[in-house]
Amino acid sequence: MRFPKDFFFGAASAAYQVEGAWNEDGKGISNWDVFSKIPGKTFEGTNGDVAIDHYHRYKEDVKLMAEMGLDSYRFSISWARIIPDGDGEINEKGIEFYNNLIDECLKYGIVPFATLYHWDMPQALEEKGGWTNKKTINAFVKYAKTCFEAFGDRVKHWITFNETIVFCSSGYLTGTHPPGISNDIKKYFTATHNVFTAHAKTVMEYKKLRQYGEIGITHVFSPAFSVDEEEENKFAAYHANQYEIAWYYDPILKGSYPEYVVKQLEEKGWLPDWNEEELKVIKEAADQNGFIGLNYYQPQRVMKNKDLSRSVTRTRENCTGAPGNVSFDGVYRTVKMEDKVYTKWGWEIAPEAFLDGLRNLRDNYGDIKIYITENGLGDADPIIENEVMDVPRIKFIEAHLKAIKNAIREGINLKGYYAWSVIDLLSWLNGYKKQYGFIYVDHKNKLQRKKKLSFYWYKRVIEERGENI
Ligand code: BGP
């Protein structure tokens, strides 16, 4: 079986992780520009000031993507480049950069897939409360509209937010992302609700413009599975899926919040301050939402947490479902299992769980349109006689593409696959050591680009439309 003709073989990046040029051409300062410079926050103090200089080298990079045969490139737009203070004047130079990038993609027939928010928020807004401030909602909608008006004639695929669970939990529960606040559960839920409201209002705004493209959101997809058949552990998995899947997916796809979580938040005083108008727009937008983007790296293996003395210990290595964490409410914990395989960074490699998770998603949400907007292997790639021999990455992606093929065979509506990442880039908290790309960047040699083994492999997969997967 070949993948369907309209299936996108793509790869992804995010503005802060590739662009650099942090203070050039009128760009405003972002929360990450500030946060990454606080001592101890990132691995070896790395930051995105230069990153891999994609801002200046996008032509060379897009050319390499074209050589690889990519159908589509997922990138993000830096809010602070478009509206430096988040809510005021538009920076024409910022518009120009993305116009050029988009045109460069189209020159080679690469379909641009744009994310509006991949975590870098104008610092001016962060200082006013960021996602806990309701004014940020309207500022975001204004920014999104600016992008639709500037790029919507050529960009027909839009993602509003990338991984709400990560920037909200890291920002307000673990303090590992900006604004660096720990254990503020009320703020955490408030932020998520404000993001969903911003998503919903943006979807409605996009539809009003009648640009005839599609708009959706990207979520972490880290389904929880019980470690065994014990009732208490099965319940722990149910609880985890309610808080980490249903809380995020229900408002987008069903237009309402899961009752199980709402009831508990009410009891504990953690319910966001929401109003009827917000709940109404969330409801309306669910019918207009075009797709769900899934970022799948690993599942969660969970059991009941019995050790109540353990505090929340999510660190930079294990933010998205990785083993060794206690949930913020202390109900369950994620564990490492003897019979599973893990990456160097301790993330489970589990393509079967991916397929199982996709089946569950279909059972819960019906025939929704899905893109895999991120999936990939973070590794320290071996260099042998000057060649980057990233065989483990090839094996990883191959196994996950196989799972996708099976899902498509079963009738799951999967329309594209974006490997994370197109090129080696800055990992938010893990610097440059943890590589994901098809293209290597030599930090000792003026950021020179070099094709990895996986580059040639992915090129062939695309040429064959995945027939041999
Ligand atoms: C996702 C983010 C990406 C990327 C990826 C890998 O959560 O959307 O931006 O960073 O994870 O993460 P890491 O670099 O921490 O391994």
What is the residue-level pLDDT of the chain in tens, covering all 469 positions? 999 999 999 999 999 999 999 999 999 999 999 999 999 999 889 999 999 999 999 999 999 999 999 999 999 999 999 999 999 999 999 999 999 999 999 999 999 999 999 999 999 999 999 999 999 999 999 999 999 999 999 999 999 999 999 999 999 999 999 999 999 999 999 999 999 999 999 999 999 999 999 999 999 999 999 999 999 999 999 999 999 999 999 999 999 999 999 999 999 999 999 999 999 999 999 999 999 999 999 999 999 998 776 555 555 455 556 788 889 999 999 999 999 999 999 999 999 999 999 999 999 999 999 999 999 999 999 999 999 999 999 999 999 999 999 999 999 999 999 999 999 999 999 999 999 999 999 999 999 999 999 999 999 999 999 999 9
Q: Which atom of ligand 1 is nearest to the CA of 218?
A: 8
Whether residue 163 lies in the annotated active site: yes
d(CA 468, CA 183): 48
Give Dmax (Cα) for the chain.
63
Cβ of residue 378 lying under 6 Å from some atom of ligand 1: yes
Q: What is the pLDDT of residue 323?
A: 80
Q: Is residue 445 in a domain?
A: yes
Specify the CATH number for the domain of residue 366.
3.20.20.80
Residue 78 lies in a domain: yes
Helix (H, G, I), strand (E, B) or coil at 94: helix
Q: How many other CB atoms are there within 10 angstroms of residue 375's CB atom? A: 24
Give the pLDDT confidence score for residue 309 in this predicted structure: 62
Going by CA atoms, what residue is nearest to atom 13 of ligand 1?
427
Contact indicator for 450, 388 with CB cutoff of 8 Å: yes
Contact 204, 281 (CB under 8 A): yes
Write down the pLDDT at residue 316: 46
Q: Could you write out the DSSP letters of every residue in 98-161?
A: HHHHHHHHHHTTPEEEEEEESS--BHHHHHTTGGGSTHHHHHHHHHHHHHHHHHTTT--EEEEE
> 427 CB less than 6 Å from ligand 1?
yes
Q: Whose CA is closest to atom 9 on ligand 1? A: 14
* Structure tokens given for 38: 């606080």
Task: Give the C-alpha separation, 12 to 417, whole Å.
Answer: 10
Domain that holds residue 286: 8-463
Q: Give the tokens for residue 284.
A: 């309306």
- Atom 10 (ligand 1): residue with closest C-alpha? 427
φ and ψ of 104, to 5 deg: -65, -40
- The number of folded domains in the chain is 1
The CB of 162 under 6 Å from ligand 1? The reply is yes
Instruction: Give SS3 for 74.
Output: strand
Contact yes or no for 117/218 (Cβ under 8 A): no
Residue 2, domain member (yes or no) = no
Please indicate, yes or no, if residue 387 is contained in any of the structural domains: yes
C-alpha 318 – ligand 1 centre gap (Å): 11
> For position 325, what pLDDT does the model report?
85
Q: Which alpha helices (DSSP H) does 339-390 contain, by range?
A: 351-365
Terminal CA-CA length for the chain? 9
Give pLDDT, residue 313.
54
CA angle 87, 427, 191 (to 5 degrees): 40
User: Which two tokens mark 345?
Assistant: 């960074």
Does the pTM surpass 0.85? The reply is: yes
Q: Tell me, using a 6 A CB cutoff, whether residue 295 lines ligand 1.
A: yes
- Alpha helices by DSSP H, listed for 12-90, are 15-18, 31-35, 54-68, 79-82
Running DSSP on this structure, what letter comes out for residue 244? I
Of 16, 41, 168, 420, the one to substitute when testing ligand 1's pocket (max ligand atoms within 8 A of C-beta) is 420
**For residue 7, what are the CA distances in angstroms to 10, 109, 139, 418?**
9, 14, 34, 11
Domain-embedded: residue 244 = yes
Cβ–ligand 1 contact at 78 (below 6 Å) = no
Q: Is 60 a catalytic residue?
A: no
Indicate whether 336 belongs to any domain. yes
pLDDT value of residue 310? 56
Q: Are 114 and 106 spatial neighbours (Cβ–Cβ below 8 Å)?
A: no
* DSSP H helix total and E strand total for the chain: 16, 15
- Nearest residue (by CA) to ligand 1, atom 14, is 427
Q: Tell me if 373 CB under 6 Å of ligand 1.
A: no
Tokens of 53: 């200089």
43 within 8 A of 428, measured Cβ to Cβ = no
**Strand extents, DSSP E, 240-320:** 292-295, 300-304
**Distance, CA 295 to ligand 1 centroid (Å)?**
9
> Which strand (E) or helix (H) includes residue 371?
strand 370-374
To test ligand 1's pocket by mutation, which of 317, 427, 434 has the most ligand atoms within 8 angstroms of CB? Answer: 427
